[in-house]
Every structure is written in structure tokens, then in C-alpha cells.
Structure 1
Amino acid sequence: MFLIEKATDVTGDDLLDVFSFPSSTAPTVRATMIASVDGAATVARRSGMLGGDGDHLIFHTMRLLADAVVVGARTAILEGYRAPSLDSDGTRRRRLAGQAPTPTLVLTSRTLDIPSDYGPASASNVVVATCTSAPDDRRRRLTDDGATLIDCGDDTVDPARLVAELADRGLHRIDLEGGPTLLAAFTAAHALDQVLLTVSPTLTLGDAPRITDGPALALRDQNLPIPERLPYPLRLARMVGDDDGFLYQLWETARTDGDPALQ
């Protein structure tokens, strides 16, 4: 064991380096999530109630770094998502990095149950990822309103197909913002590379979901050593704290020789 102590102050500009994406051109899927100390992903069904100024800064930093922001349409509507926009300094930084002025917002929806008055769905930097079984009338309504739809599966949105579709569009740095059901789907498909987790300094009680909300992963051979016997092994790559008591942890998939799914 070892004690992790604060080494130096970290500014907003420093966070761009601390939490930068890998330099590889291969797609990297990073989930940016928040949870209480006792594991709740929401309070009163909203994740924003757990956050603070530092968490907002992390959120903004990811918008500067990511090529695409993926979120479930239901979560986006509930949390009041708008089409991504950045100030002039943010767009300048992205242009210097060879990126589009803003990240592409990707709304995932199996049923296309998106209200007609939800304007972001038809914005030029927003894509709706759905599946071929989505109702035709909803598909027509959205496309008539100017929305861009991409099919990434037959009966559900397949995480691997979605990542491949985004990569084909040149969107390799993928920020997965939830909600918990979508993150569980990416985890179950072994399509998740990193987790940037904000730990909010509070307990919540109640029955709120965790950051992943789905069926359990298959149990591994418990005679194997750590990390091979863990359900989805991770390793801590970075951790930052602030004066308000929040922790910001970057976890990476712990690749193991004995796990073909994580190669």
C-alpha cells in the first residue's frame, strides 16, 4: 500500500494535460461520471445535484478534449442538454489541436422517443444514434425536422457499432456521459476504455442507481490472481482533489493476457 498525497496545485489549463486522451488514433471511449461516496449516481434523478465548481470544470475540460460526447437521449432531455458550444478560446484551442470547433453530441435512442420540441436533436453538431427497428413515424418526424440519424444495430444501439461509426467520421476521442444504463451497456460490450469519475463528498442513502445500471457481468475464475479475477479490471492512472473535498479519478482498463475481451 502507499499514501497518495497532493503534490502540486492544478490549474484549469493543467487539466487539459492531466486528463488528455491517449495519442493513438484508435478510438478511446472514456466515461465521465459522478457518484457519491456511497455510490449513488443521482440525487432526485439528476446527476448535476452531486456536482460542484470543480466537477463543472472537469465537464468543460472534457468538452474541450473530446471529438464526440455520447449520452442517452432520455438523460439528455432530463438533464437539459443543449447542443455543444464553447467560447472563442475553447474553439481556438480545438482548432489548434486539429479538431472541429465543438464536439459532436451523440444522442442514443432505441425507440426515438424524443419530444418534437427538443431542439438540440436537429442541431448541426448533433447526431441521433438509433437502430433499424425504431418506429418509422418517429424516424420521419426527426429527419423532417433536420435531425441526423445513424443506425447502429437492429433492435438496440450496439456500442461497438456506434464506436466504429464515430471512428469512420473521424471522431476518435469519445466522451460517454451516461446515463447509468448506457454506461452499463458499453461495459457489458467491453467497449469502455476509461472512466473519469468524480467522487462527490457526500452520502445520499435512497435507491439511486450506480454509475452502471444493468445486469451483472459474468463471474470470473476466482482462483485467478488480481486483476484477472475482477469483473472488469481497472487501474488508477490519475487522481486530483480540490478544497471542496471532491476527488477526480481517471481509471484505465487493466489489460490482462488472459482476457481476450480486454485485449
Structure 2
Amino acid sequence: MFLMQKATDLTASELAELLAYPTSAGPVVRATFVSTIDGAATVDGRSGVLGGDGDRHVFLLMRTLSDAVVVGARTALIENYKAPANDHAPIMVLASRSLDIPVDYLPVTHPRVLIATCTSAPADRRRRLIDAGATLIDCGDVDLDPRRLLDELGTRGLRRIDLEGGPRLFASFVAAGAVDELILTTSPTLGLGDAPRIAHGATLPLPDQDLPLPDRLPYPMSLVRQFGDDDGYLYSLWSRHSRAD
């Protein structure tokens, strides 16, 4: 059992210390998501409507602690992501296999924005973005490979990675075994409908069911800490469980 702390009882520096990235020789990928109580990642196609002041604070704190924010280009467009505000903001990485990104979307040509794609992306769209001044990095052949993306970011000294979605990009990172931590905000509402979960698309093999818990789970995670707030939101930090040998 965990004693749940009240987020409003913590100072900003205390919260930053409790949610700091772990020390690691390699990259650490931390996904940041919000969902309803019944598991919906969006309402009316958007995740932003599920958040509150506390969720916004945690969301921005994760960016402050990160070297790079990785987000699907479609999610960035829907949620109206802005370019990094200054040189101290994390690098933004827009992930897109199709490169279906308008050249007049302002972050595209920002010097602190990278577009991660694959070599099979349409040549005309690739040329249009490059001609507009975008920086493209190939991280796979027919699809975007999360591990190759992390290698590319590592060569740039970017090791603390904040993965912000959407659900299909998150699922691809999980399927590649590339997610180390998750900060999940549970919004105090039910969503209904057919909205996706926070990880949606790619699948995982089911481990040997004769194994003990948690090793028989597809991608076991351990609860590190948990907070609540006066608005009814729940904030949980999860860390990937190391399987037994």
C-alpha cells in the first residue's frame, strides 16, 4: 500500500525533486499521459480537455526536466503545440511516418524542432519540408523505429526523453521495449465512447502464464509514488519492472 500525498501540500521544488528523472548511463524515456477513470485518452478527439491546473503543472514540469519532447506530428497539430519558447526549453521532436505536415505549421522550421521519420516517407513531402527549412532525421526504413530515434537523440546529448503521445506512438515505444517510466494523470471523469487508450495500436506477446506475478504480465510496471489534488485528479509515477532472469 502507498500513502498518497496531496500535491497541493508540496512546494514546486519538492515536486520537481520527487519527479526527477532517475540517474542512468543511457536514455530514459518517460511517457506523460492523461486518461479518464474508464481509460479514455481523449474526449471528442482531444486529450487537453481532460486536464486541470494540477495536470498542466505536472505536464510543464516534465518538460522543464527533459532534454527532448517527442510527440506525434498529428497530435501536435490537433493539440496546437507551439515551438520551443527559448534555448532553455527542450528540443521538440515531431514523429511522422507520412510527413503529412503543413509547411506553414510554425514549429516545422524552428531550429529546436526535429522531424523524425523513415526513409520510405513520400519524397515530395520530404522535399517540401526540407525546402521550407525543416530538419529531418530518418529513424527507420518503412516505419519509425523508437530505438533508432533514441540513438539519434543520444548522439545529440539528449537523454531525458518526455514522450507525450499520441496513443499509437506510445504503443510503438512500448512494443519496442523503450518506455522506462510513465506519469499518468487520472482525470476525475468518465469518458465513454470509443476513444483510444493511452497506448493503442501495437501489441505485445503474452509471457509464459506459469510465471509468477508480475512477470506474467505483458509489460509490468511498479508504482513509485502517487499524488492527489483538491480537484480530484490522481497523479501516478510508474517505473518499468525488471523481469526475473
TM (norm. structure 1) is 0.90
2:237 to 231, 236, 250: 250
Match of 1:65 in 2: 65
Instruction: Check if 1:184 corresponds to 2:171.
Output: yes
Q: Which of structure 1's runs of 4+ aligned residues deviate more than 4 A?
A: none
Instruction: Mark the CA change 1:123 to 1:207 in structure 2 (over 3 Å): closer, same or farther.
Output: same
Instruction: Check if 1:137 corresponds to 2:124.
Output: yes
Question: How far 1:68 moved relative to its partner?
Answer: 0.3
Conserved 8 A contact 1:20-1:65: yes
Conserved 8 A contact 2:5-2:226: no
Counterparts of 1:38 and 1:21 in 2: how far apart (Å)?
Answer: 28
Gaps spanning 5+ residues in structure 1: where?
87-99, 259-263
SS of corresponding position for 2:129 = helix
Conserved 8 A contact 1:67-1:172: yes
Conserved 8 A contact 2:171-2:203: no
Counterparts of 1:118 and 1:66 in 2: how far apart (Å)?
Answer: 23
Q: Decide which moves more: 178-187 or 114-123.
A: 114-123
Question: How far 1:3 moved relative to its partner?
Answer: 5.3
Match of 1:101 in 2: 88
Question: How far 1:11 moved relative to its partner?
Answer: 2.1
Instruction: Check if 1:31 corresponds to 2:31.
Output: yes
Conserved 8 A contact 1:109-1:130: yes
Q: Encode CA deviations 1:110-165: one digit per residue, 9 max, x unaligned.
A: 01100122111110110000011111111111111111000000011100000111
1:160-179 correspondence to structure 2 within 5 Å: 160-179=147-166
Q: Encode CA deviations 1:54-112: one digit per residue, 9 max, x unaligned.
A: 010011101110000000000000110011226xxxxxxxxxxxxx6110000000011
Match of 1:78 in 2: 78
Counterparts of 1:31 and 1:5 in 2: how far apart (Å)?
Answer: 21
Conserved 8 A contact 1:30-1:194: yes
Question: How far 1:7 moved relative to its partner?
Answer: 6.9
Counterparts of 2:12 and 2:2 in 1: how far apart (Å)?
Answer: 25
Cα RMSD (Å) of the superposition? Answer: 1.3
Counterparts of 1:104 and 1:122 in 2: how far apart (Å)?
Answer: 13
Question: How far 1:6 moved relative to its partner?
Answer: 3.0
Instruction: Check if 1:196 corresponds to 2:195.
Output: no
Match of 2:3 in 1: 4
Question: How far 1:217 moved relative to its partner?
Answer: 1.3
Instruction: Mark the CA change 1:3 to 1:107 in structure 2 (over 3 Å): closer, same or farther.
Output: closer
Q: Encode CA deviations 1:184-242: one digit per residue, 9 max, x unaligned.
A: 00000101100010010111111100000014311111111011100100001111111
Match of 2:98 in 1: 111
2:110 to 118, 123, 143: 123
Conserved 8 A contact 2:172-2:202: no
SS of corresponding position for 1:177 = strand
Conserved 8 A contact 1:73-1:108: yes
Counterparts of 2:229 and 2:133 in 1: how far apart (Å)?
Answer: 42
Aligned residues: 244
Conserved 8 A contact 1:113-1:138: yes
Instruction: Check if 1:51 corresponds to 2:51.
Output: yes
Percentage identity across paired residues of the two chains: 57
Question: How far 1:39 moved relative to its partner?
Answer: 0.3
